[in-house]
Copies of this chain bind each other. A is one copy, B any other.
Amino acid sequence: MQTPRIGFIGPGIMGKPMIHNLHRAGFSLAVFARRQAQVDELGLTDIQSYSSPSELASAVDIIISCVSDSSDVEEVLIGPSGVIHGIKPGTLVIDMSTISAEVTKRLASQLESKQASLLDAPVSGGEIGAINGNLSIMVGGSTTDFTRAAAIFAAMGENIVHVGDNGAGQIAKACNQILAAQTMNAVAEAYLLAQSANVDPAKVREALLGGFAYSRVLELHGQRMLDQNYKPGFKTHLHAKDLDIALDSAKANQIDLPGATLAADLLQRLLLQGDGELDSAAIAKIVGSG
């Protein structure tokens, strides 16, 4: 079997290091970017770039998309110059963006009409995880496609889980984002309680790291909050967008998530005061601000 050629759509903050890791692993790559500068910044002269997603699609066997939200994925996959207009039968599309599970399922069935298939494969771990090749990858789709993509995922991530059918990867990511945001809020509330009682939050964190209240959020974001260091990391406006997706899914499935709604409201308030570019650990600026 010949090595598949991969077409990558979206060499952004996450996409760029992911492309580098795929390149390092020996994959044959092509790329589409909205701006030529993004292609140049890759600094990889053996990667061909195409001027539209449909042209890219006609030249590769596997397509990876890694863009910002549902509408961007719809544009690159089914828009006027989208993948679907050039795609070859048997192509596998791996969407690593964080988008709605409902949109994912619609896209999968549209690709199916072209004898192509989709994996939703959103990631967690941020730019650092993308650079170090140890992203968590949450995958929805068929077992056949998951197996087909195994070597590709292994080049970019470490904790790679086949969660279920199409959309299940996105649901897992939504769960990840509501859990992370609520834990950040909980850490911020704990710090607020400590400060209000004239107790050093750094000492509280140290005491709590060894027990049942341990979380990576307490360890990593808890330290950011102490340092008031909100250089992203993962930006507030993206975390807010992800919670919107999660709450839309909750609504579509007729459930109420009051804790996630509270955390989403705090991120929205942070956005409204102009802090959308800060790391979402800046939720601590809002907690207790009345």
Q: Which residues of A contact B (CB under 8 A)?
A: 101, 124-126, 136, 138, 158-159, 161-164, 167-168, 171-172, 174-176, 178-180, 182-183, 185-187, 189-194, 196-200, 203-204, 206-218, 220, 246, 249-250, 253-260, 262-263, 288, 290
In the assembled complex, the CB of A210 is this many whole angstroms from the nearest CB of chain B, namely: 3
CB-CB < 8 A to A180: which residues of B?
Answer: 212-213
Find A136's partner among B199, B211, B257 (CB 8 Å cutoff): B211
Q: Known: A183-B182, A253-B193. Contact between A161 and B207, CB under 8 A? A: yes
In the bound complex, residues from chain B placing their C-beta under 8 Å from that of A174 are: 193
State how many copies of this chain the complex holds: 2
Question: What CA separation (Å) do A290 and B199 show in the bound complex?
Answer: 37
Beyond contacts A159-B209, A189-B257: 8 other A-B pairs, Cβ-Cβ < 8 A, are A101-B197, A124-B213, A136-B207, A168-B200, A179-B208, A196-B255, A212-B217, A255-B288
Contact across chains for A197 and B167 when beta carbons are under 8 A apart: yes
Chain B residues within 8 Å of A138, by CB: 207
30 example contacts (A-B, Cβ-Cβ < 8 A) are as follows A124-B212, A136-B210, A136-B211, A138-B207, A159-B211, A161-B203, A161-B206, A164-B199, A164-B203, A167-B197, A168-B197, A168-B203, A171-B194, A172-B208, A175-B193, A176-B208, A176-B213, A178-B190, A179-B190, A179-B213, A180-B212, A182-B182, A182-B183, A182-B185, A186-B259, A189-B259, A192-B255, A193-B246, A193-B253, A258-B262
